[in-house]
Structure 1
Amino acid sequence: MMLERKILVVEDSPVVLKVLNHLLSQNPLFIPVLCTCYDQARRKLEEESFFAAIVDLNLPDAENGEIVDLVLLKQIPCVVLTGNFDDDLRISLLDKGVLDYITKDSRYSFNHAIKVVERLIKNEGVKVLVAEDSAANSQFVRALLEQYRFNVIEVDNGQEALAKLEEDSGIRMLIADHNIALVNGYELVRMLRSNARFQDLVIIGLSAEGDSALSAKFIKAGANDFLKKPFYHEEFHCRVVHSLEAQEMLETIRDLANTDPLTKLKNRRFFFEEGERYLRKANAGFSLAMLDLDHFKVINDTYGHMIGDDLLASFGGDMQGAFPDMLVCRFGGEEFCILAKVCGQELLDRLKVFLGHLRAKEYTGAKISMTCSVGLSCQSIGSFEDLIKQADRLLYEAKRAGRDRIISDL
């Protein structure tokens, strides 16, 4: 269960306050706390803790943006939402440390303010590696990233960056200066993009030198974006967030293509691709089980396909819960597969426990009892497709022997 966050909203316009309250309330993680003046906000800040704040600059009892200083003093990320655009004021507020300066010129302005706050939650678990040989520049980039709640790791040369990326698979983004020592930024990008393991790493290049040719060179090598120094807060944040969101969208699309929509398990296509990949690299024990729900057609005929779908979805969740360290997929219809990087005996023992729980459970509101038959193959007999055929043959034997059992080639 994710933690709810209180968002302080300070705005004297009832209409704007209502809009922001509505938009924030759409996100179940947010608890809007509404204030119409500086003094009310001051009291709330003394009484409660806040994740972020969205504030207007001109309040009835504080007309010169005093609310921003108050919020920043409490070290709360602050978004300014104002009716007037003043470029000098915008720059001074960004220099103070506000996340964004947004003018109320359209409905999108309100959506953008909410999006900035939502991004803070997403960024909390995102590790960013900064490869920069200038301590001052590294500190500046770190400060900008930490404003947006990123988890920052710093190195000062290309070799150390490579070592850190190899060591920590949780790093999602690399920001690399072109002129770092040992391995420069451009070569670093080329080396990373030649390794399939880093295909989803977001890479942004930096340089104080060069022209548009260097930018193109970086991007052609595989960088997601390139920034020429010096750059300003807004440009940096926009580029970082845009690159990260574009990569997240690609990962979402890929995940949808690999996921069965009913059970949320991996689908047959992904299972074949991953299975072939694993089999090529396998240097230890592995096993494959094929499971089939017994008499499932009777369920559909008796209770209808909606109940049948609910049962499949529930069963898929149970499988994922019982075998979280293994690749579980919906193979098709009421058939499921498990690919395990363990010896056959370990998977056999866990399957026996799972079948025991299955017999004791009732599914859906109709309280349907289910059993399943299992074919378990542990022998390396050629291709991944051959392994599946062997498990399928053993599954057929389990069905023919009376169902609700496991037949293996152990």
Structure 2
Amino acid sequence: MVYKILVVEDSPVVQNVLKHLLSQLTVYVPIVCSCYKEAEATLASQNGDEFFAAIVDLNLPDATNGEVVDLVLESGVSCIVLTGNFNDDLRLELLNKGVLDYITKDSRYSFDHVMKVIERLRKNQHIKALVADDSHTSRLFVKTLLEQYRFNVVEAEDGQQALAKLEEDPEIRLFITDHNMPLINGYDLVRMLRHNNRFKDLVVIGLSTGHNSALSAKFIKAGANDFLKKPFYHEEFHCRITHNLESQEMLETIRDLANIDVLTKLKNRRYLFDEGESFYQQALSHGDGGGFAMIDIDHFKFVNDTYGHMIGDSLLELVGKEISLAFPESLTCRFGGEEFCVVSNESDDVFEQKLVDFQASLRTKEFTGAKIKVTCSIGVCHQKQDSLDDAVRVADKKLYEAKNNGRDRIELD
């Protein structure tokens, strides 16, 4: 998806800097206007809603008092102010109007910060946030701040309702909770969540009024990522949210690097044995699920010896993509070398038919610039086993039989 960014700026130098930074990321298309009239005409012609966000200067040749901010906000476009003058009273006034951020052009970092805000907006569209507060006014205020930054927001009136919503909706990634709530207070709620491994990646931020200076430490020791005392400034709120989300995203990236095969982008063997057991047992609990397949590319050594290891790596990468596409609901991993595995949570009949279809599809394709045709041998365990390790042993034995019986075939237990 491409996002149009309106830039309203009379300085050619600043225009070029913003155009360069936005164009470096192919998802953004900068539309540059040099004055208020140009911006007005552009917004009118685009119906406003086609712009993802706007970056505007306050002092334009034909609008020296920030009139462009009202124009952009009235058009329903998220607005970031980038100005050469810092005025604290004006900053507060603009933030209260709904401006996302007020940034001064005092260093290169200012432009980097603009890009950071734009990128955060784009990512936030896919993040669901839960706000728990028994005060409707306070809850609405926090919800409005989050929606300005494009979060999808759901609400809870007390701790018990918040807990129920978190348990039923695994897509909630950000949880903002007040402390003083009926049934379950915020502090106890955080403690309950952190004792459940399912919520280990949930970003939790506590809120509270009052003068209990120890409460923030209690919240954080209980497992909260951060804590804010009411009332708080818009900027502090958004900075804390952004900082904590970015920290969590960094942890997830590090975890992915440890669990994802660099070449094929499938899960790796480590992930299979660390997390696959849980997936396998859940699949078994569905009744007729829990199939496990080992897939081996036939005569792969010949490919490496004939075309070289770079072509061989390209072939592995492409076959990995085929496996991922063929089994979208399953856990797909690179087991090692030219061996892959699939842990299915579908019925045996469906899984076996998908394996047959995958094998047939593989025969019809040519891979890499060398137009290599390949086949694969598959060993399948569909009988219920006590553990994933047992399923691997059975499937591996069947894979050995498939190779000995001529390759390019499927052997079932």
TM-score bracket, normalised by the shorter chain, equals over 0.9
Query: Which position in structure 1 is the counterpart of 2:232?
Result: 231
Query: Which position in structure 2 is the counterpart of 1:145?
Result: 146
CA distance change for structure 1 residues 131 and 381 in 2, over 3 Å: closer, same or farther?
closer
Query: Which position in structure 2 is the counterpart of 1:273?
Result: 274
Query: Which position in structure 1 is the counterpart of 2:395?
Result: 391
1:347 has 2:345 as partner: no
1:246-273 CA-partner distances (Å, limit 9, x unpaired): 1111111111111001100000000111
Query: Which position in structure 1 is the counterpart of 2:18?
Result: 20
- Distance in 2 (CA, whole Å) between partners of 1:147 and 1:178 is 24
Query: Which position in structure 2 is the counterpart of 1:358?
Result: 362
SS in 2 for 1:341: coil
SS in 1 for 2:408: coil
Moved more, 335-344 or 199-208: 335-344
- Distance in 2 (CA, whole Å) between partners of 1:43 and 1:382 is 69
- Distance in 2 (CA, whole Å) between partners of 1:72 and 1:345 is 56
Retained in 2: the 8 A contact 1:202–1:247?
Answer: yes
Retained in 2: the 8 A contact 1:340–1:347?
Answer: yes
1:401 has 2:405 as partner: yes
Under a length normalisation based on structure 1, what TM-score does the superposition of the two structures give? Answer: 0.97
Retained in 2: the 8 A contact 1:344–1:377?
Answer: no
Moved more, 40-49 or 341-350: 341-350
1:318-361 CA-partner distances (Å, limit 9, x unpaired): 00000000001000010000111234333222111111111111
SS in 1 for 2:51: coil
Where in structure 2 are the equivalents of 1:8-407 lying within 5 Å? 8-48=6-46, 49-281=50-282, 282-283=284-285, 284=287, 285-407=289-411
> Partner amino acid for 2:67?
E
Retained in 2: the 8 A contact 1:288–1:377?
Answer: yes
SS in 2 for 1:362: coil
SS in 1 for 2:141: helix
Count of aligned residue pairs for this structure pair: 407
- Distance in 2 (CA, whole Å) between partners of 1:190 and 1:400 is 56
SS in 2 for 1:290: strand
Retained in 2: the 8 A contact 1:287–1:377?
Answer: yes
Retained in 2: the 8 A contact 1:372–1:404?
Answer: yes
Retained in 2: the 8 A contact 1:125–1:150?
Answer: yes
**Alpha-carbon distance, 1:95 to partner:** 0.9
CA distance change for structure 1 residues 298 and 15 in 2, over 3 Å: closer, same or farther?
same
SS in 1 for 2:112: helix
- Distance in 2 (CA, whole Å) between partners of 1:80 and 1:346 is 55
- Distance in 1 (CA, whole Å) between partners of 2:211 and 2:219 is 11
**Alpha-carbon distance, 1:379 to partner:** 2.5
Unaligned runs of 5+ in 2: none
Unaligned runs of 5+ in 1: none
SS in 2 for 1:291: strand
SS in 2 for 1:142: helix
**Alpha-carbon distance, 1:37 to partner:** 1.0
- Distance in 2 (CA, whole Å) between partners of 1:305 and 1:155 is 56
1:15-48 CA-partner distances (Å, limit 9, x unpaired): 1110000001011111101111111111111111
Retained in 1: the 8 A contact 2:315–2:368?
Answer: yes
> Partner amino acid for 2:333?
C
**Coordinate RMSD, CA, aligned:** 1.2
> Partner amino acid for 2:312?
G
CA distance change for structure 1 residues 381 and 118 in 2, over 3 Å: closer, same or farther?
closer
SS in 2 for 1:254: helix
1:125-170 CA-partner distances (Å, limit 9, x unpaired): 2111110111111111111111101111111101100111111111
SS in 2 for 1:230: coil
1:356-398 CA-partner distances (Å, limit 9, x unpaired): 1111111111111100111101233443222211111111111
> Partner amino acid for 1:27?
L
SS in 2 for 1:368: coil
- Distance in 2 (CA, whole Å) between partners of 1:338 and 1:381 is 15
- Distance in 1 (CA, whole Å) between partners of 2:391 and 2:98 is 59
SS in 1 for 2:116: helix
Retained in 2: the 8 A contact 1:290–1:395?
Answer: yes
Retained in 2: the 8 A contact 1:343–1:378?
Answer: no
- Distance in 2 (CA, whole Å) between partners of 1:338 and 1:295 is 20
SS in 1 for 2:150: coil
- Distance in 2 (CA, whole Å) between partners of 1:297 and 1:112 is 50
Moved more, 173-182 or 347-356: 347-356
**Alpha-carbon distance, 1:301 to partner:** 0.7
> Partner amino acid for 1:349?
Q
1:251-297 CA-partner distances (Å, limit 9, x unpaired): 11111111001100000000111222234554233111101100000
> Partner amino acid for 1:227?
L
- Distance in 2 (CA, whole Å) between partners of 1:95 and 1:381 is 61
Q: Which residue of 3, 6, 17 corresponds with 1:5?
A: 3
Retained in 1: the 8 A contact 2:281–2:290?
Answer: no
